[in-house]
């Protein structure tokens, strides 16, 4: 059962994140069509797509000689939701720090 890449490993590389963006925008892409829009070689794109595929973030379908890839939205949505919650938590903590720091000091403690 080897070869399954973690979703976040898939997302950890900026080129891979860009590949996902491009696939999401266009609906489908091949290593060739993606490489045309990226500052990396087609060979590098093939490797990135393999990682994304193992992570379950894209799925490929062989058509003739090329493989057409699409984004699989569910794992990305789970990761994005986790990120959104963390962002919201930080906003709440920063608001709490601000509220404490700006509160008039009670004067009961001397620093």
Partner 1 sequence: MGAQVEDRIERDVLIAAPLQRVWDVITEPVHMGTWFGMPEPTSADFRPGGWVVFDHEEFGEIPVLIEEIEAPRRFSYWWALVSAGKGTRPTEGNRTLVTFTLTEEGDGTRLRVVESGITQVRAEDAELEARFKDNTEGWAIVTEDLRKRVEEVLSAAG
Give the residue, chosen from 15, 17, 44, 46, that forms a contact with partner 1 under the rule CB under 8 A: 17
Residues 23-52 that bind partner 1 (CB under 8 A): 24
The string over 72-87, giving b where at least 16 C-beta atoms fall within 10 Å of a residue's C-beta and e elsewhere, is: beebbeeeeeeeeeee
Nearer to partner 1, 11 or 31 (CB): 11
- Given phi > 0 = left and psi -120 to 50 = alpha, else beta, which region is 103? beta
Give the residue, chosen from 7, 22, 50, 72, that forms a contact with partner 1 under the rule CB under 8 A: 7
Place of tokens 């290593």: 31
Q: Which residues bind partner 1 (CB under 8 A)?
A: 6-9, 11-12, 17, 20, 24, 73, 75-87, 89-103, 111
């Amino acid at each position: 059962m080897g070869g399954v890449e973690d979703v976040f490993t898939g997302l950890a590389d900026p080129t891979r994140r860009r590949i996902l963006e491009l696939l999401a925008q266009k609906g489908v892409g091949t290593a060739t069509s993606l490489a045309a829009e990226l500052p990396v070689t087609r060979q590098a794109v093939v490797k990135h797509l393999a990682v994304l595929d193992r992570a379950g973030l894209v799925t490929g379908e062989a058509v003739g000689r090329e493989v057409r890839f699409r984004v699989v939205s569910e794992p990305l949505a789970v990761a994005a939701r986790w990120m959104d919650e963390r962002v919201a938590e930080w906003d709440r903590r920063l608001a709490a720090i601000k509220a404490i720091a700006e509160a008039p000091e009670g004067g009961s403690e001397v620093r």
